[in-house]
Amino acid sequence: MTIPGIQAIGIAVPQFTLPLTALAEARGVDPAKYTEGLGTHRMSVAGPDDDAVTLAVRAARQSFALGNIDPSTIGLLIVGTETGVDHSKPVAAFVHGLLGLSWNCRSFETKHACFAATAGLQNALDWIRAGSARGKKALVIGTDIARYGLGSPGEPTQGAGAVAMVVSEEQPLVTFEDSIVGSFTRDVADFWRPLDSTEAIVDGQKSVDCYLHALAGAFREYQRVSREVRGGTARTADFAAMAYHVPYGKIALKAHRHLRSYETENATSSRDLARLRNDEESLVAYEERVAPGLVLPRQIGNIYTGALYLALASTLLMSQRDLEGARLGLFSYGSGSCAEFFDCTVCEMAQGYARQANWTAMLDRQTVIDVPEYERLVRARDERAALRDVVPLAGEGPAFLGSRDRYRHYEG
């Protein structure tokens, strides 16, 4: 039986980053509300040369370089995004062209808010398990620019970036065994973006409640499937680390507490109950198993579809424990809503790969901007319509040049 996994990961962020302390000052808010209350320190800001396509291409190129992947081996390209650039043409088609992938490659875009990349990943894993890949690899990308209104409560939870994953059965960083997935879907109005709007509409507190409700629902289903396949009751204590969808850092603490109280309510033995009620142990577990996954997200902000996989990459990079052979719990949430709880097993090369990728150095190279510059960049993105004559390439990959005859043009 073929066990598929993620063979390479690449991450892209735009050139600019805004410290949330500066945003707090400009909005007349106590900076601690953002840095401690939300648990996020900086947010990446896209400029007018960037969109979902350019970020996706840069992340993919990094994954090819780090994983030594020959692009001609990609037979399936799936791009999950909620920052689509066209109602008909998928981001995947532009990405396919810019990467120069084979014409004999299936490519499409998936959408379900932040869940879209997970839909792509599960699809790619099943494609390999079913034998349809015939030796080819899949490239799955989550790419987004999060956007809420200036001065709105959602504003400090923006971010921009992409995570690309090469999925194959070769030399994996993590594997997905047994296809144990707990899915949970509920039609809710917590967060959405109408077709004519560049900004998301969100009922913030409701979205947090929906996230936590979906977490318990998906975990319950994961336990049921796991019981059927592996026997016994799966517990959070089984995981050496857990990566959650991270719209802002603090939500991972809320999520972890919520799962623990869900387990407490459903504990079947007094030993389990005593352990779960031990708050100190819960905090140690959080620091050891969850906090390493927040290091990169806290510096980048919400990248929507890529957010869970950014947390996974951060876990591999920052965990002080030797994770080889360990099982990790993963939770993906997309507003609207769809969620999945699933697991993966860490392979020998994963932590060395993450160290080599050195994603923190990439963040150190970002240009720190102030609030007037951030607001100027947001306006410049909206105003980018006409095709430019001069192309100031940042040097790291493609730039969006603008549109001619209502068709988008890229360079690089």
Residue 345: CB minimum distance to ligand HMG, A: 26
Q: Does 154 bind ligand HMG (CB under 6 A)?
A: yes
210 is catalytic: no
Nearest to 182 by CA among 36, 13, 343: 343
User: Would you say 12 or 38 has its CB closer to ligand HMG?
Assistant: 38
Asked if 158 touches ligand HMG (CB under 6 A), the answer is no
> Which residue of 40, 73, 110, 157 would you call a contact of ligand HMG, by CB under 6 A?
157
**Does the annotation count 245 as an active-site position?**
yes
**Interface stretch with ligand HMG, choices 60-68, 205-213, 222-230, 371-379 (CB under 6 A):** 205-213
Tell me whether residue 105 is one of the annotated catalytic residues.
no
Q: Does 191 bind ligand HMG (CB under 6 A)?
A: yes
- Residue of 71, 149, 204, 402 that binds ligand HMG (CB under 6 A): 204
Interface positions, 31-50, toward ligand HMG (CB under 6 A) = 32-33, 36-38
Q: Which residues, numbered 291-320, are part of the site for ligand HMG (CB under 6 A)?
A: 302, 304
Determine if 168 is a binding residue for ligand HMG (CB under 6 A). Answer: no
Residue 348 makes contact with ligand HMG by CB under 6 A: no
211 lies in the binding site for ligand HMG (CB under 6 A): yes
Among candidate residues 41, 109, 114, 221, the one labeled active-site is: 114
Task: Name which of 245 and 256 has its Cβ closer to ligand HMG.
Answer: 245
Question: Among 120, 142, 247, 301, which residue interacts with ligand HMG (rule: CB under 6 A)?
Answer: 247
Does 335 sit near ligand HMG (CB under 6 A)? yes
The catalytic residue positions are 82, 114, 245
Given the rule CB under 6 A, which residues bind ligand HMG? 30, 32-33, 36-38, 82, 113-114, 153-154, 157, 191, 202, 204-205, 207-208, 211, 245, 247-248, 250-251, 302, 304, 333-335
